[in-house]
């Protein structure tokens, strides 16, 4: 349904009530990558923790992945698609320059007339999407929101660049946020968002935008992900800890109040470093990048669903979600997991 509201009513909470996912069926293993570039399973596993990843079929694009994740979410939560009034798709790999993905995903999922738009903060996009939907719900503008993280990064990978092609992959995840007049301490409890645009080329796709439009002479590598891995690694390890701590302090909580940390799945070593620095037990840090690689804005909902499937996600659990990525951008969200019974 379309979004129509007056503001200034009593403030509801934004409750996190479900998660759905989709990954393409094609699995690309490290052994296959050994045939494509000068790398080894041993290097990839020891430096990143990744064993395999999913890659979209030629006829699959981001809205197909996103719509499949939304359908999984609607089925699991028993939600009538026409009751969703806000749909936010976080992606950096849209089907087109425009239209945005979200209206297409809404139609594919049966959400006629839903308020729908895309947001792009690369690997932090899902956190920005959650923050936006929370704001809309808390201000009384939206009642039931779906936030999707979906990427077809395989289309912007330089398959000759061993430094990046072993990392990135495709997938989609979606969550439901619903208005609830619940007590303090339920729903989304806080967000921390930030950015630093002083070194965009540390992680970017140089060509294809308005600064450097793609021409017939543009080398393919210029239209693909390029990364200063060491700088991004330094930034990621620092910001994961800083953003989490800022948010916990603001919320009057400590890391001991967190039941599960669901952070962006970029590199096992980044997550190990963060868990050590923050003093959170490794069993409380969700890791599934071994099977999915780095799926950018999709990685946090994919990890959340994995935690659910592995029985790590108890009703009422306090989740600390943290995203970080190109921009540079970052975002953390503290939220209680309150699935609809």
Catalytic residue numbers read 123, 264, 294
Does 88 contact ligand ACO by CB under 6 A? Answer: no
Closest CB to ligand ACO among residues 64, 268: 268
- Burial class from Cβ neighbours inside 10 Å (0-12, 13-18, 19+) for residue 333 reads buried
Backbone φ and ψ for 24, nearest 5 degrees, come out as: -60, 155
As a whole number of angstroms, the distance between CA 96 and CA 103 comes to 12
d(CA 220, CA 206): 11
Residue 82 to residue 276: CA distance in whole angstroms:
44
Q: To the nearest whole angstrom, how small is the minimum distance from the Cβ of residue 141 to ligand ACO?
A: 30
Q: Examine residue 329 and tell whether it contacts ligand ACO (CB under 6 A).
A: no
**Dist CA 206 CA 226 (whole Å):** 8
Is residue 17 within 8 A of residue 186, CB to CB? The reply is no
What's the count of helices (H) and strands (E) in the chain, helices before strands? Answer: 10, 13
Which 200-259 positions form the footprint of ligand ACO (CB under 6 A)? 203, 227, 229-230, 232-233, 236
Judged by CB, which is closer to ligand ACO: 121, or 189? 121
Residue nearest to ligand ACO (CB): 229
Task: Indicate which single residue of 84, 105, 123, 174 sits in contact with ligand ACO (rule: CB under 6 A).
Answer: 123
The least CB distance from residue 212 to ligand ACO, in Å, is 19
Cβ neighbours of residue 140 under 8 Å, at least 6 residues apart?
5, 6, 7, 8, 9, 10, 11, 12, 179
End-to-end CA distance of the chain: 23
The pairing of strands 188-195 and 329-336 is antiparallel
Q: Does residue number 169 form part of the binding site for ligand ACO (CB under 6 A)?
A: no
Q: Does 117 bind ligand ACO (CB under 6 A)?
A: no
Residue 266 touches ligand ACO, criterion: CB under 6 A: yes
Query: Would you give the binding string for ligand ACO spanning residues 47-66, x where CB under 6 A is met?
Result: xx------------------
- Shortest Cβ 153–ligand ACO spacing (Å): 9
Helix axes 229-250, 268-278, angle to 10 degrees: 40
Instruction: Look at residue 24 and give its three-state secondary structure.
Output: coil
State the minimum distance, in angstroms, from the CB of residue 122 to ligand ACO: 5
Q: Count interface residues toward ligand ACO (CB under 6 A).
A: 24
Among 325, 330, 337, 338, binds ligand ACO (CB under 6 A): 325
Residue 39 binds ligand ACO (CB under 6 A): yes
Kindly report the backbone phi and psi dihedral angles of residue 181, in degrees, each rounded to the nearest multiple of 5, phi listed first: -85, 45
Pick the binder of ligand ACO from 74, 122, 224, 239 (CB under 6 A).
122
Nearest CB to ligand ACO, comparing residues 77 and 294 = 294
Minimum distance between the CB of residue 11 and ligand ACO, rounded to whole angstroms?
Answer: 34
Using CB under 6 A as the binding rule, the residues of this chain from 268 to 287 that contact ligand ACO are 270
Q: Quick check: helix, strand or coil at residue 94?
A: coil
Cβ closest to ligand ACO, residue 44 vs residue 130? 44
In whole angstroms, how close is the CB of 229 to ligand ACO at the nearest point?
3
Neighbours of 243 (CB within 10 A): 24
Nearer to ligand ACO among residue 133 and residue 266 (C-beta): 266
Q: Write the CA distances from 96 to 63, 64, 114, integer angstroms.
A: 10, 13, 20
DSSP secondary structure, 175-196, as one string: EEEEEE---TTSSEEEEEEEE-
CB of 225 to ligand ACO, least distance (A): 8
**Which of helix, strand or coil describes residue 112?**
coil
Residue 162 is a binding residue for ligand ACO (CB under 6 A): yes
Contact between 157 and ligand ACO (CB under 6 A)?
no
Binding site for ligand ACO (CB under 6 A): 39, 43-44, 47-48, 122-123, 162-163, 166, 203, 227, 229-230, 232-233, 236, 266-267, 270, 294, 296, 325-326
């Amino acid at each position: 349904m379309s979004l129509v509201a007056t503001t200034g009513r009593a403030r509801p909470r934004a409750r996190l009530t479900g998660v759905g996912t989709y990954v393409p069926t094609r699995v690309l293993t490290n052994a296959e990558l050994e045939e494509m570039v000068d790398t080894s399973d041993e290097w990839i596993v020891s430096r990143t923790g990744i064993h395999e990843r999913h890659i979209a079929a030629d006829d699959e694009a981001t809205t197909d992945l996103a719509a499949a994740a939304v359908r999984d979410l609607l089925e699991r939560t028993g939600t009538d698609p026409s009751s969703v009034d806000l749909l936010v798709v976080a992606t950096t790999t849209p089907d087109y320059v425009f239209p945005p993905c979200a209206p297409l995903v809404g139609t594919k999922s049966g959400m006629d007339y839903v308020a729908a738009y895309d947001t792009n903060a690369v690997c932090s996009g899902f956190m920005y999407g959650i923050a936006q939907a929370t704001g809309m719900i808390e201000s009384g503008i939206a009642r039931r929101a779906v936030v999707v993280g979906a990427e077809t990064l395989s289309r912007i990978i330089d398959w000759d660049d061993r430094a990046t092609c072993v990392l990135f992959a495709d997938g989609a995840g979606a969550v439901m946020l619903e208005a609830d007049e619940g007590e303090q301490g339920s729903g989304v409890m806080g967000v921390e968002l930030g950015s630093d645009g002083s070194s965009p080329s540390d992680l970017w796709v140089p060509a294809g935008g308005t600064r450097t439009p793609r021409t017939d002479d543009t080398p393919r590598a210029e239209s693909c992900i390029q990364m200063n891995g060491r700088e991004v690694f330094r930034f990621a390890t620092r910001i994961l800890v800083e953003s989490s701590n800022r948010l916990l302090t603001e919320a009057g909580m400590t890391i001991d109040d967190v039941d599960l940390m669901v952070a962006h799945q970029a590199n096992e070593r980044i997550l190990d470093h963060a868990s050590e620095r923050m003093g959170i037990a490794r069993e409380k840090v969700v890791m599934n990048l071994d099977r999915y690689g780095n799926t950018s804005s999709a990685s946090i909902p994919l990890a959340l669903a994995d935690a659910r499937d592995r029985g790590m996600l108890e009703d009422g659990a306090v989740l600390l979600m943290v995203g970080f990525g190109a921009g540079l951008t970052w975002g953390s969200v503290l939220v209680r997991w309150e699935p609809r019974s």
